[in-house]
Amino acid sequence: MLKERDAVLVGVSGGPDSMALLYAMRDLSDVYRIRLGVAHLNHGLRQKDSDRDAEFVVCQAEKLNLPCYVEKKDIAAAHKKTGGSLEEAARTARYDFLFKTAATQGFDRIAVGHQQDDNAELILLYLLRGSGAAGLSGIPPVREKIIRPLIQTSRAEILDFLKINKIPYVIDRSNADQHFIRNRIRHQLLPLLKQRYNPKIVESLNRLGMILQADEDWIDDHAYTILDEITFEAGPDRRVLSRKELVRLPVGLQQRVIRKAIFQVKGNLRRISYAHTEMVKRLAENTATGLCIDLPDRIRVCRRADHLVITREKQSLRSLPHSEIVRVCPEFAYTILQSDIPDESGPPGKPLYIKETDALLNLKRIDRCLVKDLRGFDDRIAYLDWDRLKFPLVIRNHRPGDRFTPLGMKGSQKLKKFFTDHKIDSQKRRVTPVISDHEGIVWVCGIRISERIKVTETTATVLKAEFLEAGFSPKKSLKIFKI
């Protein structure tokens, strides 16, 4: 972490961890002959308490005869403009301040007070969120200029050190506010795990983090090597990858290479989730060209022939022209037999879950006398003439060359033209399923049924189809046969 004659800026909040760090670094300064400075960002989130903490830090720096750099920032106002988590906004502002101060005042390193319990809490938080190995690695002891000298020291040891050496500190009362999940983990979950499951849970979680971090370091090196091999072009704010080479990689390596490529363009991976990586992977697998998806912080990924182009745009993505932003959806097809569809008078049916679009399709056979709306369609509910259907039914994406006769028309029409005429954008087209039988499309889900199977006065039995778009994850589904 340190070498002789380093200049180290110590981030001090005034709390126990940062005060222990400050005094420990003061003791080490003679050993390493290092130059120290103190930095404190007043977030202004706790009004008078925030000002009190800033004054306390200034007094402690003067007592130790150290230069002190203080800045006050209205985090709440900045958070309203940018959105996201208030904690994340405060964290970003704090590190921006520390890096800026270190650069302008000539400090080589930035020391912060994260300790062993903080690391265990973060690992648990990421575990609850379903993070991968990178998240479960915990807080790195060294990252760029940042060093964390207390990362293997427990909270109990720190409090003992403060007590023995009579070092003052202030308490941030918001750390007890259990509206924040991090505080609930600290005050509820970790004590429960210690008491009921493992008295050394903090040490165990930290060991897990170190093991995973070692694995991550090795895998990261391999992922960067692969990324270099499949990169066609690399420049400021831009990477061009070989799409074919990317999709040939094992799935786990694909995701890592994608994240590394985004990191190279974006500079960090904040707000880039597993779902975003999966979207990029699906975009690479898609057979169409000219498609784009937009990620947080002005990151755009486009499929261009055999290339995947990742760029960081200089202006808001919403303001850029000719943007075809799509939810990439792989091809799918589900077959439903006549015997799979329940009768209205029988046990309740099990909906079909279309995982590729995160949607539900619910089918029932009912008597015609129960159908009051004879128009034959609704936004999400359609009534089809059972006896005119040629089973089995297939639920699938639309395909090139698809035609059908929309309700109310006499001749058939290409589905592509139907979408264009009704101003259905490309994003919605790709995630809108169609239901077809042996004679063609019977329903463009949620939009229009076919004239051929509309309910009439002579209809005896009706198929009621209900389409529920993204946001459903049922535990059970229809008995289906994937094509």
* Residue 165 predicted with pLDDT over 70: yes
**Residue 241: is its pLDDT beyond 70?**
yes
What is the structure's pLDDT at 48? 84
Average pLDDT (36-51) is 87
Across 125-134, average pLDDT: 85
Residue 330 has pLDDT above 90, yes or no: no
Secondary structure of the chain as H, E, C letters: CCCCCCEEEEECCCCHHHHHHHHHHHHHHHHHCCEEEEEEEECCCCCHHHHHHHHHHHHHHHHCCCCEEEEECCHHHHHHHHCCCHHHHHHHHHHHHHHHHHHHHCCCEEECCCCHHHHHHHHHHHHHCCCCHHHHCCCCCEECCEECCCCCCCHHHHHHHHHHCCCCCCCCHHHHCCCCHHHHHHHHHHHHHHHHCCCCHHHHHHHHHHHHHHHHHHHHHHHHHHHHHHEEEEECCEEEEEHHHHHHCCHHHHHHHHHHHHHHHHCCCCCCCHHHHHHHHHHHHCCCCCCEEEECCCEEEEEECCEEEEEECCCCHHHCCCCCECCCCCCCEEEECHHHCCECCCCCCCCEEECCCCEEEEEEEEEHHHCCCCCCCCCCEEEEEHHHCCCCEEEECCCCCCEECECCCCCCEEHHHHHHHCCCCHHHHHHCCEEEECCEEEEECCCEEEHHHECCCCCCEEEEEEEECCCCCCCCCCCCEEC
Burial-class residue 345 by CB neighbours within 10 Å (0-12, 13-18, 19+): exposed
Q: Say if CB 17 and CB 167 are below 8 A apart.
A: no
- Give start-end residues of each CATH 3.30.465.60 domain in the chain: 236-319
Q: How wide is the angle at C-alpha 152 spanned by C-alphas 146 and 156, nearest 5°?
A: 120
Q: Which residues contact 235 (CB under 8 A, 6 or more apart)?
A: none
Please state the rounded mean pLDDT for residues 222-247: 90
| Token code pair at residue 206 | 């930290």
Report the percentage of the chain scoring pLDDT > 70.
88
* Bridge partners of residue 98, in order along the sequence: none
Topology of domain 7-207, CATH: Rossmann fold (3.40.50)
- 120-149: average pLDDT: 91
Task: Summarize the confidence of residues 93-111 as an average pLDDT.
Answer: 95
* Non-local CB neighbours of 285 within 8 Å, separated by 6+ positions: 247, 328, 330
CATH of 236-319, one of 3.30.460.10, 3.20.20.70, 3.50.90.10, 3.30.465.60: 3.30.465.60
* Most confident of the ranges 84-88, 261-265, 425-429: 261-265
In this predicted structure, what is the pLDDT of residue 90?
Answer: 83
The arithmetic mean of pLDDT across residues 210-229, rounded, is 91
pLDDT, one tens digit per residue, over 408-418 is: 888 899 998 99
Contact 101, 40 (CB under 8 A): no
* CA dist., res. 198 & res. 182, Å (int): 20
Residues of the chain with CATH 3.40.50.620: 7-207
Read off the tokens for 357: 């679009």
Tell whether the model's pLDDT for residue 469 goes beyond 80.
no
Answer yes or no: is pLDDT of 121 > 50: yes
- Kindly tell me the burial class for residue 410, based on how many C-beta atoms sit within 10 Å of its own C-beta (0-12, 13-18, 19 or more): exposed
* Mean pLDDT across 343-366: 77
- For position 324, what pLDDT does the model report? 43
Structure token digits, residue 259: 């994240």
How does residue 57 score in pLDDT terms, banded at 50, 70 and 90? Answer: very high
Taking the mean position of all CA atoms in its chain, how far away is CA 244? 25
Q: Above 90 in pLDDT, residue 378?
A: no
Say which amino acid occupies 350: K
pLDDT at 320: 54
Given a cut of 50, is residue 405 above it in pLDDT? yes
CA 322 distance to own-chain centroid: 26
pLDDT over 70 (residue 192): yes
Tell me the pLDDT band of 328, cut-offs 50, 70 and 90: low
- Cis before 406 (ω within 30): no
Which position has the higher pLDDT, 211 or 319?
A: 211
pTM of structure? 0.61
| CB neighbour list of residue 251: distance below 8 Å, 6 or more residues apart | 281
What pLDDT does 371 receive? 67
Q: How far apart are CA 198 and CA 190, in angstroms?
A: 10
Give the pLDDT band of residue 114 (cuts 50, 70, 90): very high
Confidence of residue 265 (pLDDT cuts 50, 70, 90): very high
Q: State the average pLDDT over residues 320-328.
A: 47
The amino acid present at 273, given as its one-letter code, is S
Mean pLDDT in residue range 165-188: 88
Contacts of 236 (CB under 8 A, 6+ apart): none
* Mean pLDDT value of segment 218-224: 90
